Each structure stands twice: as structure tokens, then as C-alpha cells.
Amino acid sequence: MKLIFVTGGVVSSLGKGIVTASLASLLRSRGIKLKIRKLDPYLNVDPGTMSPYQHGEVYVTDDGYETDLDLGHYERFTDIKCSKNDSISSGKIYSTILSKERKGEYLGSTVQVIPHVTEEIKNSIKKSTNKDDVIICEIGGTVGDIESLPFLEAIRQFKNERQLDTLLIHLTLLPYIETSGEIKTKPTQHSVKELLNAGIQPDIIVCRSNKKIKYEEIQKISLFCNVATNAVIPSYDVGSIYQVPSLLSKSKLDDLVIKNLNIKSTKKKDLSKWTNFEVLESRAKEELNIFIIGKYVHLKDSYKSLYEAIYHAGVHNKVNVKIKWIDSETINKKNVDELLIKAAGILIPGGFGNRGISGKIEAIKYARENQIPFLGICLGMQLSIIEFTKNVLKMKNSGSSEFGKHTNNVISLMTEWSKKNQKVTRTKENDLGATMRLGSYPCYIKHKSLASKIYKKKLIHERHRHRYEVNPKYRSSIEKKGLVFSGFSKDKKLLEIIENKNHKWFLGVQFHPELKSKPFKPHPIFFSFIKNSLMNKNA
């Protein structure tokens, strides 16, 4: 087993996740078997309980684990499916240790950071791996943070135990100082010193820069940071994250990794899928306005996968999608027409809580009445049902039990509408973590529906993250008025997809299709949504 660690220095948000995913993709294209893991220093057991404002999107894996958004990059850049073992936080480590301690499993010893925490970290890194695997571990945060010290110590121990099989890549920033016209290497030198304080010498330094790095600067980094000049790898700013694999391949990052670790590749590297995608990207010129009405619109990372899924679908439809993010709290009955007039398509993503709900309902009404292509995801789907029951069925006081008591809870907890179907039960009375319907579930698609035209399949698997469900009690009265349920669980009790018979393109899905879109294979729902929005724009 070979281990590659990726750490970051100088500042955060340097794109460690993208570098990690790109390296993984370059190694995969040579037939190398690998796993990618994210180690996060925070104390939450998983990011499921964190606000998207603080931590960005919560990415859900097929096996139903709520993980860091970087796992989304790993899956989008490679053909690898991540699992719960691939997202490791300090909280998860400590929670395992504390429960072992309570069970007396440490047999009387004093439980300490070294060796117990570091041992647990090392075991989590090695969990469910085979001998021939390459494990790439990205360490969250920036070196120098107090929280990440146990992770660095675990890396030091690994390096000591398996010198030849462990490699450390450090990603830093070379800032450009406008007044002197120079790139500065000092912050990189300092952050390597931080690593040395923890007992680790990096093998490769990847340098982010928006200016050309001169050979003298490479020599300087090599001299002060104790790495060979060919191990100082430039990583320049590029137009799209999907150009990073080719860029790093040109800088020979993967060649160096393979040589250093003596990894055997089974195939010749093939970059054609990336270069083809770049050609497609360069052709996507025509602009298309898609409006996203949400709650967390001020931080783009909150809707990371959604943004990427729209981008993939745009590129494959040869359009340059301009996303207009609208804060749902700013929309009301009076201004909705004016705010949304330029929308070729309208999308309402997932969300929690009742803030901004009325604005979203107004937007749905606008899309429904004006034949604007509409995609509602999870909460967006639930609200499109509420909108329909309010405005078309004229149902009194309809809503979701998530927002309080209503005469007609058209959306409610499974436990509220079915005593038998109590799949969602909370572990402890007040626990909110991991208590939702999470992960991949099968969905059966109705013949001749819009959904069946989109998927061209009868059975699909999509990922979920929600507590509330459509209450089947209202199904027939809703269907009588033209909203059609076209996707169901096997027992037909869970209603997973809705569409509107009297609309050109109106779709609501209880799951999150954005989590499975790839640059080479846009998700069919997004592809169709963008295609129809384009037709709407040019109609």
C-alpha cells in the first residue's frame, strides 16, 4: 500500500481538493487502483450538522454518509465512488475513542493523543484497503492550525514506518507583489518550516501562482525547502477547474509521484477525456440565464455540486450558463415578475427551515404560470407541491410539517403518515445528526413520463438527504389537477418525482441529482433542463 498526503500552507482555499482530485484522475488514467480520503480537523462527527454558510455544501455518498464537499470533487474527477470511510474528521476519531474508552477497551491505560488518537487516525486511513491500493489523503485546513497537529503526527509516524511508501505533497501560494513586480517565496518557506516543526519534510511542493514562476524562484524554493528543483511544481490559475489535470500533467506531477513511490501503472496515461472537455468548454459561448432561488446564495460553496452539475450540462449543450443567484427572502408577490423576467430557466435547490419559503413559492408560481422550465430539488420539489395545492387546488392552509402545523400537511414525516413505515427514527430524542433518509435509493419511473424521456430507464438510483416526504394521502387530488407523480419507491409509497402535465418542462425531484453529475457525463436531468431552458430562451 502506498500513501500520499496532501497538505496546504500559507492560506486556505488554494484548491487542495482540486489538486488531490486531479492527481487521482491522472493516476487512475494509468490504471492505478486508488482511494481518496479527506481528513478534517474539526470536531463535528460529520459535516451534516454544519451550516452550509460555514462549511459549504454537505456532500452525500451512495452509502448515506454526510461528507465534506471535497469528496464531490473526488467523484467528479475520477470514476471512484467514495464511501463513509473516506471522510474522517477529528470528531469521528474522538467519538470512536470515547466510546471505546467507556467500554473499557483500553484496559486501564491512560488514553492520550499519542499513541491513541494517532493510532485511530492511522487505522481510519488504512480501513478497508487492499495491499495494492494507493491511498491519497487530503488534510483539511492549513498547516500551523492547532487542530490539525494529531493528523500531522500520524503522517510523521507513517513516514517513519514506511519511508519508501509514503509521499507528502505540500500546496502553497506564491503571492505576487505588484509594487516590486515579484513573486514571493518566503510564505512557502515559512509554511514548510511549520511542517518541519511537526517532524515532516515534504517531498513535493506544488506552488499556486497567477504569474509565471521563474527558474530562479524554483531554485530558491528548492534550496530553502530542501526539495529537488523538479519537485517544485507550478500550478497556475486556469479558466476552469477541469483544466487542472492537464496542467499538472504538463508539470509532471504524476510522473514524479509514480517515480518516487515506485508505483506500477498498468496503462499508458490517457488525457483525451480532459482535452476533449476543454474543447467543449471553449465552444460554450452562447449565454443562458438560469436563476437559482435559494437561502445560502451568498456563499457559492453552499451549492457546489449544483453549480458544477449546471456547468457540465451547459458545456455539453454548448452554452455558457450565467447563474443568477437570488435570495428567496427578497422575493414577494409584487416584485416576482420583475425579478425573474430574464430567467430562461428557474431552479429551486434543497434547503432546510422556513426562512424565505414564501419567496420560493412565488417563484414557483411564476415558473408554472409562465411556462418557464422549472427544476425543484428536494425542498424545491416539496415547495412546488405546496404551491400547487395552495394556488391550483385552493387547499386551505397547506404546507409542510417542517414549518409548523397546517390543516393540510401535504409534506410531512413518514412517521406522521404511516405507523408501519417508521424508517426514519431518531437515535436519541434530541439527536439531529444522521437522522435523515440518506444515500442512494432506487426509484421506479412511470412509463411515457417526462422523467422516462429524460432517463430512458425504468429504474434509477439517486441520492437523498431529507427528513420529510410527500404525504401520499393527497396524491389523487393533486393528480386530478394535472401534477403527475412519475417516480416512486419500490412499494410505491414514497413519491420521488413530480411533473406538470400542462407545462413544457416542470420537474420536481425528492433526491439530489446534482451529486452524480460528471464533466464527461452530465446528469440527464440537468442536461434536459438546460436544453429546454435554451429552447425557451430562443422561442
Instruction: Report the nearest approach of ligand GLN to the CB of residue 293 (Å).
Output: 13
Using CB under 6 A, pick the residue from 37, 92, 466, 503 that binds ligand GLN: 466
Q: Which stretch binds ligand GLN (CB under 6 A): 90-98, 296-304, 414-422, 463-471?
A: 463-471
CA dist., res. 277 & res. 288, Å (int):
19
Using CB under 6 A, pick the residue from 463, 465, 503, 537 that binds ligand GLN: 465
Catalytic residue among 217, 496, 514, 523: 514
* 3-class SS of residue 463: strand
DSSP letter string, 345-395: EEEE----SSTTHHHHHHHHHHHHHTT--EEEETHHHHHHHHHHHHHTS--
In the numeric block, which cell numbers belong to residue 69?
Answer: 464537499
CA dist., res. 303 & res. 347, Å (int):
12
Instruction: Report the nearest approach of ligand GLN to the CB of residue 350 (Å).
Output: 3
Catalytic residue among 66, 378, 466, 503: 378
Using CB under 6 A, pick the residue from 94, 236, 325, 352 that binds ligand GLN: 352
Instruction: Report the nearest approach of ligand GLN to the CB of residue 384 (Å).
Output: 12
Q: What is the DSSP letter of 115?
A: I
In the numeric block, which cell numbers belong to residue 433?
Answer: 445528526
**Nearest-5° angle of CA 488, CA 491, CA 492?**
35
Q: Which is nearer to ligand GLN, 94 or 352 (CB)?
A: 352
Q: Which is nearer to ligand GLN, 57 or 254 (CB)?
A: 57
Whether the CB-CB separation of 384 and 348 falls below 8 Å is answered with: yes
Instruction: Report the nearest approach of ligand GLN to the CB of residue 69 (Å).
Output: 15
Q: How many residues in the shown chain lie near ligand GLN by CB under 6 A? A: 10
Long-range Cβ pairs for the range 335-342 (8 Å, 24+): 336/362, 336/363, 336/365, 336/366, 337/366, 340/291, 340/366, 340/367, 340/372, 342/289, 342/291
CA dist., res. 45 & res. 531, Å (int):
40
- Tell me the one-letter amino acid at 4: I
CB atoms within 10 A of CB 91: 18
Q: Which is nearer to ligand GLN, 272 or 430 (CB)?
A: 430
225 counts as catalytic: no
Residues 331-350 within binding reach of ligand GLN (CB under 6 A): 350
CA distances from 85 to 16, 67, 214 (A): 20, 10, 41
Q: Which stretch binds ligand GLN (CB under 6 A): 125-133, 287-295, 322-330, 466-474?
A: 466-474
Using CB under 6 A, pick the residue from 65, 307, 468, 511 that binds ligand GLN: 468
In the numeric block, which cell numbers belong to residue 275?
Answer: 482535452
Burial class (CB in 10 A: 0-12, 13-18, 19+), 98: exposed
Instruction: Report the nearest approach of ligand GLN to the CB of residue 452 (Å).
Output: 24
Residue with smallest beta-carbon separation from ligand GLN: 350
Q: Which is nearer to ligand GLN, 58 or 168 (CB)?
A: 58
316 counts as catalytic: no
Whether the CB-CB separation of 525 and 509 falls below 8 Å is answered with: yes
Instruction: Report the nearest approach of ligand GLN to the CB of residue 413 (Å).
Output: 9
Using CB under 6 A, pick the residue from 192, 378, 460, 483 that binds ligand GLN: 378
Each residue 397-416 as x (binds ligand GLN by CB under 6 A) or -, in order, gives: -----x--------------
Instruction: Report the nearest approach of ligand GLN to the CB of residue 378 (Å).
Output: 3
What contacts 161, CB < 8 A, 6 or more positions away? none
Interface with ligand GLN, residue 66, by CB under 6 A: no
CA distances from 411 to 400, 417, 459 (A): 4, 10, 24
* 3-class SS of residue 249: helix
Q: What is the DSSP letter of 504?
A: S
Exposure string (b/e) for 488-517, b if CB count within 10 Å is 16 or more?
Answer: bbeeeebbbbbbbeebebbbbbbbbbbbbb
Interface with ligand GLN, residue 470, by CB under 6 A: no
Q: Which stretch binds ligand GLN (CB under 6 A): 43-51, 155-163, 451-459, 465-473?
A: 465-473
Each residue 417-456 as x (binds ligand GLN by CB under 6 A) or -, in order, gives: ----------------------------------------
What contacts 221, CB < 8 A, 6 or more positions away? 185, 188, 189, 205, 207, 227, 232
Q: Which is nearer to ligand GLN, 150 or 380 (CB)?
A: 380
Instruction: Report the nearest approach of ligand GLN to the CB of residue 369 (Å).
Output: 24
Using CB under 6 A, pick the residue from 343, 379, 395, 497 that binds ligand GLN: 379
464 counts as catalytic: no
Instruction: Report the nearest approach of ligand GLN to the CB of residue 235 (Å).
Output: 34
Interface with ligand GLN, residue 467, by CB under 6 A: yes
Q: Which stretch binds ligand GLN (CB under 6 A): 62-70, 260-268, 337-345, 464-472?
A: 464-472
Instruction: Report the nearest approach of ligand GLN to the CB of residue 419 (Å).
Output: 20
- Tell me the one-letter amino acid at 357: I
Catalytic residue among 55, 316, 512, 523: 512
Q: Which is nearer to ligand GLN, 26 or 306 (CB)?
A: 306
Positions marked catalytic? 378, 512, 514
Q: Tell me which residues touch ligand GLN (CB under 6 A).
A: 350-352, 378-379, 402, 465-468
